[in-house]
Amino acid sequence: MTEQPRRRATTVLGRLPLPERTYVLDALRAETVGGVLLLVAAVAALIWANTLHDSYESVSHFHFGVSALGLNLSVAHWAADGLLAVFFFVAGIELKRELVAGELRDPAAAALPVIAALCGMAVPAGVYTLVSATGGGSLQGWAVPTATDIAFALAVLAVIGTGLPAALRAFLLTLAVVDDLFAILIIAVFFTSSIDFAALGGAAAGLAVFWLLLRAGVRGWYVYVPLALVIWGLMYNSGVHATIAGVAMGLMLRCTRREGERDSPGEHIEHLVRPVSAGLAVPLFALFSAGVAVSGGALRDVFSRPETLGVLLGLVVGKALGVFGGTWLAARFTRAELNADLAWPDVLAVASLAGIGFTVSLLIGELAFDDDPGLADEVKAAVLVGSLISVVLATILLKLRNKRYRALCAEEERDEDGDGVPDVYEQDLPAYHLRMAEILERKAAEHRRLARLAGGDGTDDAG
C-alpha cells in the first residue's frame, strides 16, 4: 500500500509577504503616534476632571448644533457620535483592505485572527456575565470588555520600547481590525432601541449615491465630504448609532490597486484621514469620555461592585485567555505549527495587550448604561483600571522576551546589500547572492590591503 504524502503544515505567525510587511509597519507607525496622543488626552481628562470637576462637566455638557435637524448635541455627544465616525471610517477602510488585499483575503489565513478575535470577545463577555450575575449586578454591560484599542496598545509598545517582530505586530493589528468589526455589529444590533425608518431610508439612499459616485470615478472632497455629513446626520436621526455610517462608507472604497496606481483610492484616502482620526478625533473623544472622578471610594467600587469587577476581570483575564485560547485552538485543529522563531508565551504577551480596551469600551459603556450616569462613570473607571493592569502585565511578559524580540527584528531588517529590501526576502534570488559575493570580495581585498600596510604579506602565517 502506497503511503500518502503528509500534508504540509501551515505556519502560525509566519513571516509576512514583503508588501504586507511594508503596509503593516507604515500603519503601525501612524497608530503609535495616535496612541501616544490618546494617552496624553486620557491623562489630561483625568487631571481636569479631578482638579476642576465643575469646569470639566460644564464644557462636556455644553450643547451646540442645529436643533431643527435634531443635532443640538453636547460636546461629549459630538465627540462620541461625530468624531468617532471618522475613527470608524478609517476602521472600515482597514477592514476592506484586509478582506481584499491583506491577511483576511485567504480564508485559511483569516481563520486564525477571526477565531482569536471571536474567542477574545466571547470569553470577556462570559466573564462579565458570570461575575455580574453572581453578584446580582446588571447584565447590560456584557459588551464593554469585548473591545481592543489598537492605538492604545501600540502606544504602550512604543513607550516600553519593545520591538515586536512584524508577524506579531501584524497579528495584533489584524486582530484589532476584526475586533472592531464585531464591536460595530454589537453596537448596531444591541444598542439600537428604536428606528426612524424614514431617516434610515434617507441614509441608505445617501450611501447608494456615495457608492455610485465612487464607481463613476467622480473625484473631489467637496463632493464627498458634504454627502458624508448628510449621511451621518440621517444615520444619527434614524436611531442607529451614527458611527455605522463611517464604517459603511469606508467599506465602499476600492482598496485594490490598478495598473499604474501607486496606491488604491482607499489607501490614498486612509493616508489623508488617518492623521485626523488618530491626531484629533480619538484624542478628543478620550478627553471628554475618560474624565471620571477617581477617589478611594470609587476605586473600591471598581473591585467590589459586580458590574465594574466584571468589566475589569473581562479585560484583564477574559481578553488574555480568549485571544490566547482561540489562537491555540485554531492552531491545534488546523494542523498548523507556530513559527519556530516564536513561542506560545509570545502569543500570551500579545493577548495581554488585547486587554487594553479604551476607545470602543468607553463608548459601549456609555451606551450600555445611558440611563444610569453614575454607574456609567464607574464602568469607565473600571475600563481605565483594567486597561492599566493589562498594560502592566503585558509589559512584564514582553520585557521577559525583549532580548529575543530585538534579535528577531534586527534579522528582519538586515539589508547588507543595501538594495532597500531586507535580506530575509532575497535568500532564494541568485542576484542577491552575487551582489553579496561582490561586497564580500571588496571587503576581503580591503582587508588584504590593510594587512600589507600593517607590515604583513596578506597570508596566514599559521598556514
Tell me the three state secondary structure of residue 14. coil
List the grid coordinates of 9: 503544515
The Cα 105–Cα 98 span in angstroms is 6
pLDDT tens string 123-139 = 999 999 999 999 999 99
Q: What is the pLDDT of residue 162?
A: 57
How confident is residue 1, by pLDDT bands cut at 50, 70 and 90? very low
Question: Is the model more confident about 458 or about 234?
Answer: 234
Calpha distance 402→80 (Å, rounded): 37
What SS3 state is found at 338?
Answer: strand
pLDDT value for 411: 81
pLDDT of residue 462: 44
Q: Per-residue pLDDT tens for 328-350?
A: 888 887 766 777 778 888 889 88
Strand-pair category, 337-338 with 11-12: parallel
In angstroms, the CA 84 to CA 363 distance is 9
CB 166 within 8 A of CB 413: no
Residue 347: C-alpha distances to residues 31, 103, 357, 390 (Å):
21, 18, 18, 14
Mean pLDDT, the chain, integer: 84
Amino acid at 200: L
| 395 has pLDDT over 90 | no
- Mean of pLDDT values over 77-101: 86
Cα 69 vs. chain centroid, distance in angstroms? 34
251 in Cβ contact with 92 (< 8 Å): yes
pLDDT at 267: 86
pTM for the model: 0.79
CA distance linking residue 177 with residue 90, whole number of Å = 10
Q: Output 2 or 44, whichever has higher pLDDT.
A: 44
| Mean pLDDT along residues 208-236 | 93
Element (H, E) at 65: strand 63-66
Higher pLDDT, 417 or 203: 203
Categorize the per-residue pLDDT at 458 as very low, low, confident or very high, splitting at 50, 70 and 90.
very low
Q: Mind listing the pLDDT tens digit for each residue in 262-311?
A: 888 888 898 899 888 888 888 998 898 888 777 666 677 888 899 999 99
Confidence class for position 202, pLDDT limits 50, 70, 90: very high
